[in-house]
Structure 1
Amino acid sequence: MMPGMGLTAIGVAGVTISYSGIAHTFVDGMHALTGLTMFVGLIFLAAGILDGGVSTSNRAKATTLVIVSIVLSFATFGLTMNSSNYTITLAGLLMAIAFPSIIISYLIMKMPQYAKPVGAIVGMAAATGIIMWFAFGLVSPDTYMISEPVIEEPKEEVVVSSAPIYPITILEKSDIQGNPDYDPDVAHVPKGNVVEWTNADAVVHTVTSSADFGDTFNSNMINAGEKFSLDTNNLDAGEYEYMCMVHPWMIATLIIEEPKDDVKVVIPQGAGIINEGQVYYNPQVIQIESGTTVVWENTDSAMHTVTSGSAETGADGKFDSEMLVAGSSFKHSFNSPGKIDYFCMLHPWMAGTVEVQ
């Protein structure tokens, strides 16, 4: 009996702990190990009772008192302080096993001639209960044995924003104090654009509004190569200082400006044919302020592209409209001063220039 009582106590305590929310890190292992220990202890305990009867020695009484104290302590905690939905079920299962086992063991010890009939009755009752549970689960109003059909919820459509993107780069080795960090350091962004920070460094960084420690915007950790996007429609026009919470010496400024009117460039009819006096991009040269969006509209019947670079040097990767069919358009925001040439990759004699002030 003694080994059975000890193993049972350890198993019950372990199972209770695993369901009480204490052992989060190895809860599955505790379920298996302590559950096995508990059932092995119950087997030893039942074998001891059947073999030698219930011991009435002081040692057995002391052991019983310790086991009851452990079980009641952990059971009370497990029932009142845990968040598992299965604790009551487990407790009921344990009592359903323990109480009949104790009664049957005691009857067999006192009246061994009733061992077979009592065992047969208990076995038939258990089988009947299991059969009825399954049967009622299939045909009763609460058909809990029949799986309910899975109703798939409609998937939310992912809306891809068409707003212009203002790119900002978190520079390599910007975690070293004194090195350049955000490029550009001061960004003038028209309201309505999407600001996109790309972490080109090898360590994590954040983009966090300084004045309110991230209440206005906060990227959380941006791993190497990852991006963080900010929709400026949610911000008022004005100046916002931001920083990296991991490296607080990294400070930059985001200036949200009222949106500027788009500048339109037309690809006219016949632009795909070389003719004297033919206009290919109208106007061919435009001068704009930083933060302005240029819209190219293809009014020709042929396909064209708007590709940064030149026919001599090729595309430089700053922007590319890909194929523009008749009636389609392409827009791009210019956020850095400079002169940008562009051309049509299908008709390389078509060329234009954007001068950003």
Structure 2
Amino acid sequence: MSDWDLMMPGMGLTAIGLAGVILSYMGIANTFLTGMQALSGLTMFVGLVFLAAGILNGGVSTSGRAKATTLVIFGIAGSVGAYALSLNSVVTSLPRFVGALLVILVPSIVIAFASMKMPHYFKPITIIFLAAMAVGIGSYTALGFIGPGAEFSLHPQNVTTAKPVALPIPTAPIIPVEIPLNASVQGNPSFNPATVSVPKGDIIEWTNNDKVPHTVTSAPDGSIFDSNIISAGKSYRLDTSKLDAKEYDYLCTVHPFMTGKIVITEATKPVIANVTIPSGASTQKEGQKYFDSQEIDVKIGTTVVWTNDDSASHTVTSGKSTDNQTGTIFDSGMIKSSKTFEHRFDSAGSFDYYCQVHPWMTGKVTVG
């Protein structure tokens, strides 16, 4: 008879691992897919070691318990596989899938066989767990980095290679959101701002200023938007014109405690406020207007348009000339005569600005 002290945990772990592998390779687990594959493979590997050790120690069992357990395992695998196929039309290539199972199956049987045949040198249980740990770590690394490769469709279609095209330059306002440094440490700010409200049609851009990768994924499963991995220093843009006007919670799938919210409002006619750079503004003298109006009050969402009516070029640069970080909020660059520059203010506050060419030219926008 088989050794049921070894076979029972072996069958249980094998069944769980097999179900996990099928779920992963059928495409149901779309978050941490490679990690799911690795964990499933490791679980099934340990289960097969126990299972093989139990069979080698006592032979193949023909008892009612063995038959019932085998039936349960096939039932779990069959039902999960059928469910996966019913939800997906694309699955991982069969050769790669079978190869992954063989990579797990063959070493586990060899390890179990060796542990049973060398009791005078190593205690079988020590060999099983040490070898399982070594091969398990190797399997985790290999599956985690390789993952599923080629795919075939259950409904074959003619596939054509698209020619690369230049991405259009966005014309909608871009609203910045920062992933701050050390956001991966639980308790620190995750996104800045944590809640961003934009009219439908604007573009939200997340920039990863942390040192580790993150994602911007709609809760709970990324079905609405998903950035995939955003490496340190990289960014992700979301075009809100494709979304409904409502609230969306999102998170980082790498660090699920990092959460944020998007509030998309119905697009409205833009509110414009005009500021003129009058003729003669480049000359510093008493009574000369440098910005007209020099100070303005506007509502959140207002776009301020500066028009250069002077003959000289100017800039509209956020901050003061004595600041260390000027131009971090907006900076027009050189505005030539008769040209314009505009900036939309999406948050409340008081914003000083000046001309870098003529630092005595100062102004202020108060948003409330």
Scaled by the length of structure 2, the TM-score of the pair is 0.52
Aligned ranges 1:166-177 → 2 under 5 Å: 166-177=175-186
1:32 matched to which residue of 2?
A: none
**Does 1:163 pair with 2:172?**
yes
Deviation, 1:326, is: 1.4
**Does 1:262 pair with 2:272?**
yes
* Structure-2 change in CA distance of 1:266 and 1:237 (3 Å): farther
Are the counterparts in 2 of residues 165 and 333 from structure 1 also a CA contact under 8 Å?
A: no
Which is further off, 271-280 or 281-290?
271-280
Deviation, 1:352, is: 0.4
Are the counterparts in 1 of residues 176 and 205 from structure 2 also a CA contact under 8 Å?
A: yes
1:223 matched to which residue of 2?
A: 231
**Residue among 195, 200, 214 paired with 1:186:** 195
Which AA in structure 2 matches 1:281? Answer: F
* Structure-2 change in CA distance of 1:323 and 1:341 (3 Å): same
* Structure-2 change in CA distance of 1:292 and 1:217 (3 Å): farther
Are the counterparts in 1 of residues 271 and 301 from structure 2 also a CA contact under 8 Å?
A: no
Deviations 1:166-200 (A, max 9, x none): 11111222223222101101112233322110112
Q: Which runs of 5+ in 2 are unaligned?
A: 1-92, 98-151, 153-161
2:259 matched to which residue of 1?
A: 251
2:282 matched to which residue of 1?
A: 272
Aligned ranges 1:55-204 → 2 under 5 Å: 156-204=165-213
Identity among equivalent positions (%) equals 45
1:287 matched to which residue of 2?
A: 297
Deviation, 1:265, is: 1.6
For the pair shown, the structure with the greater C-alpha radius of gyration is 1
Deviations 1:224-252 (A, max 9, x none): 11100112222232221111122222111
Scaled by the length of structure 1, the TM-score of the pair is 0.53
Deviation, 1:312, is: 3.5
Are the counterparts in 2 of residues 166 and 333 from structure 1 also a CA contact under 8 Å?
A: no
**How far apart, CA to CA, are the structure 1 residues paired with 2:238 and 2:203?**
6
CA RMSD of aligned residues (A): 2.8
* Structure-2 change in CA distance of 1:216 and 1:341 (3 Å): same
- Aligned residue pairs total 211
**How far apart, CA to CA, are the structure 2 residues paired with 1:311 and 1:179?**
32
**Residue among 334, 337, 349 paired with 1:326:** 337
Are the counterparts in 1 of residues 279 and 311 from structure 2 also a CA contact under 8 Å?
A: yes
**How far apart, CA to CA, are the structure 1 residues paired with 2:323 and 2:257?**
40
1:353 matched to which residue of 2?
A: 364
Are the counterparts in 2 of residues 268 and 282 from structure 1 also a CA contact under 8 Å?
A: yes
**How far apart, CA to CA, are the structure 1 residues paired with 2:302 and 2:245?**
16
**How far apart, CA to CA, are the structure 2 residues paired with 1:185 and 1:195?**
13
* Structure-2 change in CA distance of 1:185 and 1:23 (3 Å): closer
**Does 1:239 pair with 2:247?**
yes
2:346 matched to which residue of 1?
A: 335
**How far apart, CA to CA, are the structure 2 residues paired with 1:154 and 1:285?**
51
Q: Which runs of 5+ in 1 are unaligned?
A: 1-19, 25-82, 84-152
**How far apart, CA to CA, are the structure 2 residues paired with 1:315 and 1:345?**
13
**How far apart, CA to CA, are the structure 1 residues paired with 2:242 and 2:285?**
49
Deviation, 1:299, is: 2.3
* Structure-2 change in CA distance of 1:329 and 1:207 (3 Å): same
SS in 1 for 2:327: strand
